[in-house]
Structure 1
């Protein structure tokens, strides 16, 4: 069933910045109106009433949390934080005007709160710190972020995650920094735990990322078209997110299953109830509850009124793209179904331009507003009685209403900037930034533009035309973020294969790394530069902790106790983790540790074959590191084959591949593919049956069943294979299998240019090696390549790096 409006909670007079819903009958909300409210629902009613209104601060309240009941407070405590930089704690059993406890220590706005089951409070602040409070006293301070700490999350009683405007996420064990996760391209705004998997994060970059605690990015969720402020996880495991694009989105099995449009500019906060209902807090000062259960839906009249309210909203053209009215289709275009939830279509309805959004669950288009100020409508903006071509909202500080920046295209940008600064008593030192802001924002806003507009004061608030405005390693950049680690970059040069800089008039041959491409085949091929792309980043300490924690749980359950590690296996794993702790961090002091050997691999195989698949992810992560850091342990061909077979078993290779895959299997499969990629590196020989085994196993995988991350992992396997066979060439049958699989990717991939790029590189490396040794493709294979390249060019040829690489491959045929 789709989610529909269940309840509307009205009492706040300003933005609702935070919500919490610990039970099905209780909601807590915090607002910029300086209050926090405890909402209660009786078992016989579907509506909530404001049971307790707390004047929590004299200024904006931006965060709220709940401490579970204690003997001293049978209803628990409500915890608030805000601009006063004070954390106030109120007993819900005997609410009073003054707080029961006030926690002092932060020096700036408290913007994030979380509470552990044991009552420990974690706070995040603009003062760049997070603090941990036990028994209402400061226990320790978490220092390390370079900018505001926007999100905090208790993993357990000792471990805490923090997310920051410095674009990083940090994991702390008590007061010690344990790990730093990098990958987001803007401020991290929200965090949520995903049981038995890891955690999710959301950001001003409009992306949601799902991570393991070992630092691996499992997958990303794209769909929001602006800042994503808040995350929650439903009892089903689905993710809920809310953001600046007026929407709450429900993500199931890695896809957006529903978009709940709100009649407000910002959805500041989302929370999930134990019964699966969703709570949202918005900039219109209203708390809303949405439910999948039909018996909890609002009345038909209320639902219609809500839909009409959404449809009556006026959307600025910049929110949905710069459009020309005369080019838009009429209402008949709504007879064509959308492709996915959240897809927006603009149509003409008489003299109006309407925006409609596809709802996959109800299979129809939902009107989400009238588009105003689209190109061709010739409308001016009114400000203080005068007409302007543009009136920008400029956020100079969170919690302060945006300032209006009016501008006419005939004006000098510096004159407009000076007028704006004088009118708002702002320093003239900002004039260059404001002028640049105006120039960028009036250069034309196009659907799919990669331009991003940075607020000249905060440097963070962006003015976006669409979701595609988030920079993601486009063809206009010479560096590309590795989609797996999210940290290391894939950069042109000798260190890793990449396209030449697009702004250059000449191009380095990607295979020789030296000679320039002249548009004709090389008469004397030079050896390509082999630069393996290996999956090395890891948090070994956390991996070890999780492995032994899972082993403890298995040992404590009567039904699984026989599967627990034997003493000798525990010792073997400890040795392996100890070595990898040193090997993965060059800064660690060198110690006299022997690298893992065959017996250590035997221990890993034993666990891979014995443990339940849902518990295997830290062991598979360990296997990934053993493959790359301890290749000598796999020298024995028979052991290597057994190791690979254990990996296939862990990924349920022989089971049905019909999507959606069970989440634990999806995680395991990603880690197995990374391990296979790491099997090919400097010094690897492709002789033996093990390579045939990998190629045969990959042939069994339906490409359409793989996620975006997994497809890029698959391309990386072939890329690393191609680098390895430069030193140790394929035999005929290996080469046959290799070409069939590579061509399958090139034909099937329709959306991810990074996958295409790595696969083309693998093809080019292999063709170059064959040509250098006097070999050539069979005529049928050559024809297949010739037929495939134009298709790739048609789909991805707009990217310079792909287009040039296609030309290089063609020259080698």
Structure 2
């Protein structure tokens, strides 16, 4: 029989980080809400009630274990480990507020616990040690790991296994190290003992490995698409795993027999009962019990409600990445059985593309969500360090980030090559404000899947070239964004017309529909219409920022980098304001506008966090520059802000190809931030304008991605709009022309980038002509020598040719 939901336990108010199910009637849970709970099953029912709530710590409770009954505690003991480094022991027979025993010795967060049948406690901590406690006293300490000890496992009363963020597993006999197991490519997060065989381990590398105690690797289990946090063993010998891809997976005889997708971001912990039921603890604060015994299944109404929750659509989509919906089969394709558990099939159900997953245990397809994006082309896509033909994003619930579903081979899911026309571009989908014919996909260097996605309405762009990018650490994405602007117009609506929307600078709403080609007699120059990169999903950006902060806080080596309380408050205030500011339909009053202190908090984090962790903070800076110009009270503050942005993009590091993908992302976001620093209210006093021009001059154009080149042209265009009312000085103007003409000379493929650079030159020439200022003859000649190149490179682009003619007429 397949596993189905049996019970749902709700009482925790934050992530459930650990669960233990020593009997069929008892569940222990530990949560970030600072409590542990003992749950007891009601008689003749599958429901559980919270019998005892243990307020185990003023901080996160991250580990829980169970000591079997003793004469002093007929119901046994609950053991908790928390962020305050203390292990507390509570009798479940006579629970009281204070622990019966407190075990002191660790100096950092206690993140894992295990107990031998004889009552010996083993603990692991971020202090890089494991400790063995007998009779509630320290017996000995296990030292040898180079990083946090994430998992401990009692093999017997004398032997202990420990697993660490240093990617190793160690076997100890009492206090002596016996052997070290190597093979995982990332932090080892969980261990489970397999009787008569050895043990299993799971890791952030998404793999499960089964070993003998002698050190031989028996086999590996692949299927999870992100971190695997926890393992447990079924009475049948099967393995149960839970992880960051929101799934609990059941493995029998080396194959995945069932996948239980959860409506939560993370499955932090799994445990198995003696009767074979499975317990999971999740990031939504809910504990769930699954059973293969039909008599213990939840009611049909509850099962349907749960399935609907898993399958619920988060965001309706009219276009699914590059997938041609017209080529997808209809619901009738679900009549064809799948080949193995976990196989994913996409179908077209009216205007929705649904993802269904084959469940071999029930011999049926189970809907797991609606596809909202897809990455793919003729070559392989890297994901979690492996190659796939496609990687799909599937939304599972409103407000919950999409689930990554990689497909190993096209034919495995009956997907013809015609499903995808071209590869989606990694950077441009999230950061391109102009060229909307391309897409990109951000990557999270910590988790390997997408958590952050924003979108905006867009109009067609002339170019469709694209490329794919993956995270250098994980090969996949958790953080994605998509901001967009519209293509250049063809007919003006006023003397001051937005070349990218076709609207007057005084128009309330920009036009996005493309217009007919312009007449050669229509003058486009000047244009005072600053183009800002504004679209964003601020709640998702906020979630990502605090998630990364939590990861930094949770590792001893980076805990000092975490946000301070005042910085957390400042970031929360900034996100609250931007959530309202970026939602044009919001009727709620806006919170207080961010001030210089909020900018200072952002600068501090930009200067302190590692560059690979900075992308959501740099993206936040982009929005602050766009929506909170008044927060920059002085030009000195703006200069410091700019320097922090440049440091995030590692401007002072060598520009040697290939650049790290994390650096490419930060560079793109930094360019967008600089573009947003020029708007209608901008004053060009201070040194920050010079600093931007110098920074742009340092960019090696040949190394820039297409999206970055377009961002560069947008900065120059916004500068030119500012020059229409506030002229640059002569050295600034000279650098400006060198940058603009450099684009016109070097860009041979993307007409949108050239079009913006041409407007930048034209606006500046118009401003000079209006003020009676003349260029040096050599400068005029340089411009005249450059313009004919556009006739060669963009001969078929009428708008480029006509705009170039207007620029020439201004000389």
The TM-score normalised by the length of structure 1 is 0.50
The TM-score normalised by the length of structure 2 is 0.50
Greater relative contact order (CA < 8 Å, ≥ 6 in sequence): 1
